[in-house]
């Protein structure tokens, strides 16, 4: 997160970081997701739209496993292995998410 903070020059707000398996189930997270491993954060930044933040991270050279533009926040996931640099946009329909490749 420090690399992202330096990138945008502003504080980064984390709305969700580590989630216990029980909390992760309640919020509908993936059972094997990076939040359960403590390797992901959902973030936003005052004065920077989530789309601007996602695009800035995407082209920054910061190593990430998964970057998801989720509309009102950005999910950034790390990896304990080789990061995939996967970039997605979440599309929500009736509370269910599907994903498009790239930042839409």
Q: What is the pLDDT of residue 29?
A: 83
pLDDT at position 65 is 97
Identify the pLDDT of residue 95: 78
**What does the pLDDT read at residue 66?**
97
What is the pLDDT, as a whole number, of residue 50? 98
Assign residue 85 the CATH number of its domain: 3.30.1380.10
Alpha-carbon separation of residue 75 from 2, 81 (angstroms): 15, 18
Q: Please report the pLDDT score of residue 9 as a whole number.
A: 97
Give the C-alpha separation, 63 to 85, whole Å: 7
What confidence score (pLDDT) does residue 63 get? 95
Cross-strand bridge partners of residue 13: 44
Residues in the chain where the model's pLDDT stays below 70: none
Contacts (Cβ under 8 Å, ≥6 apart) of 54: 67, 68, 69, 74, 87, 103
Number of domains forming the structure of the chain: 1
Question: Residue 47's domain spans which residues?
Answer: 2-101
């Amino acid at each position: 997160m420090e690399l992202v903070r330096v990138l945008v020059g502003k504080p980064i707000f984390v709305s969700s970081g580590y989630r216990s398996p029980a909390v992760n189930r309640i919020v509908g997270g993936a059972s094997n997701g990076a939040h359960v491993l403590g390797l992901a954060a959902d973030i936003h930044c005052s004065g920077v739209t989530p789309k601007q933040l996602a695009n800035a991270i995407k082209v920054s050279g910061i190593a990430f496993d998964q970057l998801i533009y989720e509309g009102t926040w950005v999910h950034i996931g790390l990896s304990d292995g080789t990061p995939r640099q996967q970039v997605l946009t979440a599309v929500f329909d009736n509370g269910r998410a599907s994903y498009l490749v790239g930042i839409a």
